[in-house]
Amino acid sequence: MNIMNRTLLILLLAGPLAVADTTIDQLLKTRFSGAGKFINVFAGKVAKEGLATRTAISGERRATMTGRNIEVIDLGEQMIWRYAVSRKGKAKKCEATTFDEFREQMAALEQLPFFGDGPHAGEMPDDAEQAPEFEITLSFTQTDEQETHAGMTGDVFFFTATAHRPGLSVDEGGGILETTFVVGPKTDGWTEVQDWHMKWAAVIGDMFGIGESLNKVLASSPALQEVMAELQLKESELDGTFLRISTRLSTVADSRPQQQAQADDSNDGEEIPTTLGGLGARLGGAFMSKQRKESESKGPQEIFTSEIVITGLSDATDPILTLPDKCFK
């Protein structure tokens, strides 16, 4: 761990902790569209109804329960425990991992092809075309709407980033990222959750090499740099409890290649063999025209959506914070 991250971690751990423990229940819903729909099939019920997660925090320890799987991370002891519980609530085999062992596991992952700093990471064919340049249009607004989640009412904020080719509209090819924030009153429980995540980020930022990897990705896409920087800035300005965060990514296919191909076909001067006095050609042309109009009318095509909603927030001390005996054997 470098000196900066080590210093940050020491300062964070030495800082004042919230008086009460915190338990937060959340529901995560994710949907893939287009070619990614097969993921929804494998996800089954989770893709339709969402994934319920409970997170409990007490001091330096965080426990997360998803289904029957539980993970406990203790920053003070620098340990991670993972185990599952049976239908009757009894703990099964518990796996304990030190932070050093976790670092080694992540280092091994980074050597896999197309991951991290592996042998093929970032490699592009010599004849690969450079990614097209895009202009970014950003907007951030507070709507007049409000939503209530977990007994708290919050204001609705809307962030939009639209990528389009210079001089062209997004309708001629591009992408749209839409993020909705529902922000309720600031609570001690939410503050404790955020504080713990900052401490953990000081550890994993160096552990995963996140800083270096993220810089590589952003450096390859100035447009992405602008979007992410603006999104993080706006998110940091929202002072309160995030009751709901929804993200929707859509793309619009570049219609110019298809239009050019159609123009080339119509100007090549070749006579297309037909029957019934050209009726087939006319029917075919009508069909293609209909398909083109339908394609043009579809507009942005959704690729991915994600939503996380708070369903409960309290100062209760959850039993999942206490490790079962199996974790000490």
How far apart CA 57 and CA 317 sit, in angstroms, is 8
How far apart CA 203 and CA 76 sit, in angstroms, is 12
Query: Angle at the Cα of 292 (from 291 to 296), degrees rounded to 5?
Result: 120
Express each pLDDT in 227-252 by its tens digit.
888 888 898 899 999 999 999 888 87
Query: Could you tell me the strand order of the sheet in which 135-149 lies?
Result: 95-98, 79-84, 69-74, 61-66, 51-58, 22-32, 301-314, 241-252, 174-184, 152-164, 135-149
The pLDDT of residue 109: 64
The pLDDT of residue 253: 72
Instruction: Name the residue type at position 223.
Output: A
Express each pLDDT in 282-327 by its tens digit.
444 444 444 445 445 456 788 888 899 999 999 989 999 999 988 8
The pLDDT of residue 291: 44
Residue 221 has which token pair?
Answer: 């896409």
How far apart CA 31 and CA 308 sit, in angstroms, is 12
The pLDDT of residue 119: 46
Of 239, 206, 199, 240, the C-alpha closest to 59 is 199
SS3 57: strand
The pLDDT of residue 238: 92
The pLDDT of residue 110: 60
SS3 119: coil
The pLDDT of residue 266: 53
Per cent of the chain over pLDDT 70 is 62
Of 178, 168, 309, the C-alpha closest to 244 is 309
Residue 155 has which token pair?
Answer: 């204001």
The pLDDT of residue 272: 39
How far apart CA 204 and CA 8 sit, in angstroms, is 12
The pLDDT of residue 103: 81
Residue 42 has which token pair?
Answer: 């494998």
CA-CA distances (angstroms) from residue 281 to 102, 266, 269, 287? 65, 12, 15, 10
The pLDDT of residue 165: 79
Residue 270 has which token pair?
Answer: 């070749």
Residue 313 has which token pair?
Answer: 């927030």
Question: Which residues of the chain are modeled with pLDDT < 70?
Answer: 1-20, 33-48, 109-132, 205-221, 254-299
The pLDDT of residue 175: 82
Range 259-278 burial, b when 16+ CB lie within 10 A, else e: eeeeeeeeeeeeeeeeeeee
CA-CA distances (angstroms) from residue 7 to 10, 15, 17, 202, 259? 5, 12, 18, 9, 58
Residue that has been written with the tokens 């210079």 in this structure? 166
